[in-house]
Amino acid sequence: MNIEIIQQKLLEKVHIDHLRINEYMSKHTSFKIGGPADIMVLPATLEELRHALVTCKEYSIPYQIIGNGSNLLVRDKGIRGVVIKIAENFNAVKIEGNIVKAQAGILLSTLSKKIMEYALEGFEFASGIPGTLGGAVAMNAGAYGGEMKDVLRGAALMDDRGNVVYLDKDALELDYRNSIVLKKGYIVLEAEIALQPGDIKKVKEITDDLTYKRTSKQPLHLPSAGSTFKRPPGYFAGKLIEDSGLKGVRVGDAQVSDLHSGFIVNVGKATAEDVLNLVGLVQKVVRDKFGVDLHPEVRIIGEE
């Protein structure tokens, strides 16, 4: 891949301020880990996004779609090809009655505050999830008894040819940390959410309570990618890990959190190799002790 040629092609319709070359992914992940991406595009319009996709397809360039990198581990060698980051440049919100329409790049925490201002109930569960709306739709994100499928009406998506489609909730095939978005490689552009009229005081109380639960029980003071492993059927990953005697175990600067064993945290200058080696260690010990296979919830990308 000739980076200069791809750069010039992208700049035909992507504003120069929305393009980065050799951009370290550690700047774009909550883990604060990751080598450089050859090219990063931060689209602010559908046309910029479509042009980036079409260009990648035309030149057979591999690409990755990310949000704010809160559920992402990028390997130390970085990412070859193009990273398309849909985040702060793509975060408009419109609220009419009990219907919320928001672009995929808005943070769930920001959207939650906006929804609270309109005294709408039902989105409180998402207030502390550290990710974007697009990622939450794609993974059917959830917490404290709520999931995106409980409030979604549908979503506007873009396929790899730049075509836009709208799928209702049923067509999105929302499942535990999965959806048709991930299965088919769609990009979430906008989501439509239906909530219930409520009382702003009640909404705030619920949100504050959930915030306290998160801050007191989760290692939010250290870089991480949230829950490291998916919940195995019939178990809780964090309890299995703790009962295996792994709380606080380190590989380099990657550590099984001593506050919540379901999290692997970066306690200094952890590398992706540190994290992956620790993930492997945890998987082996839990499998040997309990016969349970743990599967990463964190998305792992980049050159091996």
157-208 per-position pLDDT tens digit:
999 899 999 999 999 999 988 999 999 999 999 999 999 999 999 999 999 9
> Hey, which residues are catalytic here?
177, 227, 297
**Is the pLDDT confidence value at 119 over 80?**
yes
pLDDT value of residue 213: 85
CATH of the domain at 295: 3.90.78.10
Give the structural domain span for 114.
93-203
Whether residues 115 and 33 fall in one domain: no
Whether residues 166 and 99 fall in one domain: yes
For the chain, the domain total comes to 3
Whether residues 81 and 104 fall in one domain: no
Look at residue 152 and tell me if it is in a domain. yes
CB 125 within 8 A of CB 203: no
Look at residue 295 and tell me if it is in a domain. yes
Look at residue 7 and tell me if it is in a domain. yes
d(CA 158, CA 278): 36
d(CA 166, CA 154): 7
pLDDT value of residue 216: 86
User: C-alpha angle 75/78/82, rounded to 5°?
Assistant: 125
Look at residue 210 and tell me if it is in a domain. no
**Is the pLDDT confidence value at 1 over 90?**
no
**Is the pLDDT confidence value at 269 over 90?**
yes
Handedness of CA 209, 210, 212, 217 (dihedral sign): positive
Question: Which residue in 123, 142, 140 sits closest to 180, CA to CA?
Answer: 140
Look at residue 23 and tell me if it is in a domain. yes
pLDDT value of residue 195: 97
pLDDT value of residue 215: 84
Rg, C-alpha atoms of the chain: 20
pLDDT band at 107 (very low <50, low <70, confident <90, very high): very high
236 Cβ neighbours under 8 A, 6+ residues apart? 262
Chosen domain end from 43, 66, 85: 85
pLDDT band at 128 (very low <50, low <70, confident <90, very high): confident
Give residue-wise pLDDT tens across range 53-77. Answer: 999 999 999 999 999 999 999 999 9
DSSP, res 230: P
- DSSP β-bridge partners for residue 192: 101, 154
Whether residues 142 and 184 fall in one domain: yes
Mean pLDDT score of the chain, rounded to an integer? Answer: 95
